[in-house]
Structure 1
Amino acid sequence: MRIMGLDFGSKTIGVAVSDALFLTAQGVKTIRRSPKEIEELGELLKEYEVSEIVIGYPKNMNGTLGPRCALTDEFVERLLAEFGLPVERWDERLSTVAAQRTLLEADVSRGKRKQVIDKMAAVFILQGYLDRRHARNIPN
């Protein structure tokens, strides 16, 4: 079993999954937003035997709910209805900034950064969740 992390954007959804021990997050892919997005996610959920989903929750820097939180909540409801798996909302403040910084430090070209930024943000979201889970000694 694994945990899936999602960076839910207006044009794409970044996807990451944990390893089987719930210690590390790896980027999987970026899904273009479309009517087929739920189907694509379902295929990944099966392929990686996912037991839980963590989705980035776009709070404002002061901790209040950002304007995209309502859209994220609607998407969470779709995920719950379609897959019946637990979905955890994870504060994603600065995850895209951290992903961007990592890609810049790795000297990834602008075009390539645009292709992978959401997947990298999903890795940061999921890794933060896994680190907190590990620090709290939550059993697998």
Structure 2
Amino acid sequence: MRIMGLDYGDKTIGVAICDPFGWTAQGIEVIRRKTDALDKDRMKVLMEQYEVTEIVVGLPKNMNATIGPRGETCLAFAETLREHFQVPVHMWDERLTTVSATRTLLEADVSRAKRKLVVDKLAAVFILQNYLDSKTKR
């Protein structure tokens, strides 16, 4: 059983996968969005390759915990994934994950061009890792 974490954006989808034990998240790729059908096709390939049984989608909330237009888009995307893949899809509060990912890359002295290529993947790692950590604290 593996869980896929997604950082869903207008132009890209950051993708992370947990290890078989559900302990750690690793970034695997950034899907450059083209069409919904092509995006789902790529996710299907990854889900089969990594034997994914659940998905976690980052939910961008406002700082006051309300859900704005971007959050509504992510909720609709998650519902589409539930229907299309017939797997459980969980939402996870992603506030500040992109900020944390960017800060981590800056601290690692990654160039601006390289940061742009991997920040969404790292944000997906943070989303998934936070979700995994919350499950082990129960």
TM-score, length basis structure 1: 0.95
Aligned position for 1:113: 115
Aligned position for 1:125: 127
Q: What code does the residue aligned with 1:29 have?
A: E
Aligned position for 2:4: 4
Aligned position for 1:30: 30
Aligned pair partner of 1:42 in 41, 44, 51: 44
Question: Equivalents in 2 of 1:66, 1:44: separation in Å?
Answer: 29
Q: CA deviation at 1:78?
A: 1.4
Greater fraction of residues in helix: 2
Q: Which runs of 5+ in 1 are unaligned?
A: none
Question: Equivalents in 2 of 1:75, 1:66: separation in Å?
Answer: 14
Aligned position for 1:51: 53
The alignment partner of 2:29 has SS state of strand
Question: Equivalents in 2 of 1:32, 1:75: separation in Å?
Answer: 16
Cα root mean square deviation, aligned? 0.7
Q: Which runs of 5+ in 2 are unaligned?
A: none
Q: CA deviation at 1:66?
A: 2.2
Question: Equivalents in 2 of 1:117, 1:59: separation in Å?
Answer: 19
Segments of 4+ moved more than 3 angstroms? none
Aligned position for 1:72: 74
Question: Equivalents in 2 of 1:94, 1:25: separation in Å?
Answer: 18
The alignment partner of 2:69 has SS state of coil
Question: Equivalents in 2 of 1:7, 1:84: separation in Å?
Answer: 19
How many residues matched? 136
TM-score, length basis structure 2: 0.96
